[in-house]
C-alpha cells in the first residue's frame, strides 16, 4: 500500500463544503462574503505531545481538537483542515483508528479534510485548520480593557492532574483518574462558546499552556494587568481533594492541555455570559478583573498575594 492508497482508504471522505478537495495540487475553498479566514497550525510530536502507545482513536481526536480549540478562541466557525502525517511505517490498524477518531470529531464540527501529506518519518501530526468569521467579530487577544472581567470555561488543571498521576507525581483514585484522563485524552474544543462570545468578549485565548501563561498572552497583547481570585478558580470534583496541595495548585494555575477558553468581557455583559453558560450547559466562571498595568496577581481567600510565576509549558526552556 503506497501513500496514495493510504490517503484514498483512510483520509478521503466526502467534503460537502469544499469546491475542490483531496486529489489535486491544492484544495480550493470558497470563503463566504463578508467573512475572513482564521488559520492556525498545530504540530503534535510523538514523545513530546503524546506517548508513542497512545490510543490512536483518541490521538486522532486530540490532533484535531487542539486545532479546533484555536478556531474556537477566535470566535470563528471551523470549516476545513489539512493533515500532514509522518509515519514510521504504514500501520493500517493504527491508521484506521486514528482516522476514525479524527473524522468523528471533524463530522461533529462540520469540518472537511481537504488536503495534506503522508510521508515516512518519526511519528508527527501537523494540522492546519481554517475557520470563517466576520472580520470585526474575531476574538483577538488584544482587546482586554481595565474594568473587564476575566472568565474561564469548564474546570482547570484536570489534564495536568491526569498527567501528574501517569507520571507518578501524584496519586489519584480510579474515579478521579477516569475523569481527568478524559480531559487529557479527549479534550472538547469550545467552538460553540467561541461563537456565542462574538460581540460580547473583548479578548479570548484557549488554555493550552496553562491559565497563567495563556492569560499572560492576553495581558501582553492588551497591555494590561489582571487580578485573579484563587478561590474563584473552577475545579472538578476530581481536583477538589488536591486543589490545596502544591502539585494540585500547580495544575490549576499552570497546567496545560485543558483547552478551555479564557476570555475577558465588560462587567455589563456578566448576565449575558451567565446565560450563555446555561444555554450551552457549560460552567463559566468569573475569576477576576483586568486592571491597568501589566502581569497577573493572584490573591488567596485571605487576601494574600501569591507569586506563582507563569509556569506554562515551554519547549526549549
Task: For the segment 191-250, give every residue that binds a second copy (CB under 8 A).
Answer: 204-206, 221
Region binding a second copy by CB under 8 A among candidate stretches 100-108, 113-121, 161-169, 224-232: 113-121
Rounded Cα distance between 151 and 264, Å, is 6
* Residue 317 interacting with a second copy (CB under 8 A): yes
Q: Which of 10, 15, 42, 149 binds a second copy (CB under 8 A)?
A: 42
183 within 8 A of 281, measured Cβ to Cβ:
no
Residues 135 to 174: which contact a second copy by CB under 8 A?
A: 135, 138, 140-142
Q: Judged by CB, which is closer to a second copy: 141, or 165?
A: 141
Q: Judged by CB, which is closer to a second copy: 118, or 285?
A: 118
Q: Scan for cell 467552538, then name that residue.
A: 191
Residue-by-residue DSSP string for 58-120 = HHHHHHHHHHHHHHHHTTPEEEEEEEEEEESS--HHHHHHHHHHHHHHHHHTTPEEEEEEEEE
Q: Which of 107, 110, 119, 305 binds a second copy (CB under 8 A)?
A: 119
Q: Which of 11, 15, 49, 215 binds a second copy (CB under 8 A)?
A: 49
CA dihedral defined by 147, 200, 157, 285, rounded to 10 degrees?
70
* Residue 26 interacting with a second copy (CB under 8 A): yes
* Residue 121 interacting with a second copy (CB under 8 A): yes
The 10 Å Cβ neighbour count of residue 159 is 24
* Residue 267 interacting with a second copy (CB under 8 A): no
φ and ψ of 73, to 5 deg: -70, -15
Question: Three-state DSSP class for 271?
Answer: helix
* Residue 29 interacting with a second copy (CB under 8 A): yes
* Residue 31 interacting with a second copy (CB under 8 A): yes
* Residue 41 interacting with a second copy (CB under 8 A): yes
Q: Judged by CB, which is closer to a second copy: 29, or 284?
A: 29
Amino acid at each position: 500500500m503506497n501513500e496514495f492508497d493510504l490517503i484514498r482508504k483512510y483520509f478521503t471522505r466526502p467534503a460537502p463544503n469544499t469546491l475542490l478537495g483531496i486529489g489535486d495540487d491544492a484544495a480550493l475553498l470558497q470563503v463566504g462574503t463578508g467573512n475572513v479566514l482564521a488559520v492556525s497550525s498545530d504540530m503534535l510530536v510523538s514523545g513530546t505531545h503524546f506517548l508513542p502507545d497512545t490510543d490512536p482513536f483518541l490521538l486522532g481526536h486530540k490532533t484535531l481538537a487542539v486545532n479546533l480549540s484555536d478556531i474556537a478562541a477566535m470566535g470563528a466557525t471551523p470549516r476545513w483542515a489539512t493533515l500532514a502525517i509522518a509515519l514510521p511505517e504504514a500501520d493500517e490498524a493504527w491508521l484506521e483508528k486514528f482516522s476514525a477518531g479524527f473524522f468523528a470529531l471533524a463530522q461533529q464540527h462540520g469540518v472537511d479534510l481537504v488536503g495534506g501529506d503522508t510521508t515516512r518519518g518519526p511519528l508527527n501530526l501537523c494540522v492546519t485548520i481554517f475557520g470563517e468569521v466576520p472580520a470585526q467579530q474575531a476574538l483577538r487577544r488584544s482587546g482586554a480593557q481595565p474594568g473587564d472581567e476575566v472568565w474561564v470555561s469548564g474546570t482547570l488543571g484536570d489534564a495536568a492532574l491526569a498527567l501528574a498521576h501517569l507520571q507518578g507525581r501524584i496519586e489519584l483514585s480510579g474515579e478521579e483518574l477516569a475523569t481527568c484522563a478524559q480531559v487529557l485524552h479527549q479534550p472538547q474544543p469550545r467552538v460553540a462558546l467561541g461563537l456565542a462570545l462574538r460581540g460580547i468578549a473583548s479578548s479570548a485565548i484557549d488554555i493550552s499552556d496553562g491559565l497563567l501563561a495563556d492569560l499572560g498572552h492576553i495581558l501582553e497583547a492588551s497591555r494590561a494587568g489582571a487580578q485573579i481570585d484563587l478561590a474563584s478558580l473552577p475545579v472538578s470534583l476530581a481536583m477538589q481533594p488536591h486543589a490545596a496541595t502544591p502539585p494540585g495548585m500547580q495544575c490549576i494555575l499552570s497546567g496545560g492541555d485543558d483547552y478551555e477558553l479564557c476570555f475577558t468581557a465588560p462587567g455589563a455583559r456578566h448576565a449575558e455570559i451567565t446565560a450563555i453558560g446555561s444555554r450551552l450547559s457549560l460552567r463559566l466562571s468569573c475569576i477576576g478583573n483586568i486592571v491597568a498595568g501589566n502581569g497577573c496577581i493572584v490573591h488567596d481567600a485571605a487576601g494574600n498575594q501569591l507569586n506563582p510565576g507563569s509556569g506554562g509549558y515551554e519547549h526549549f526552556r
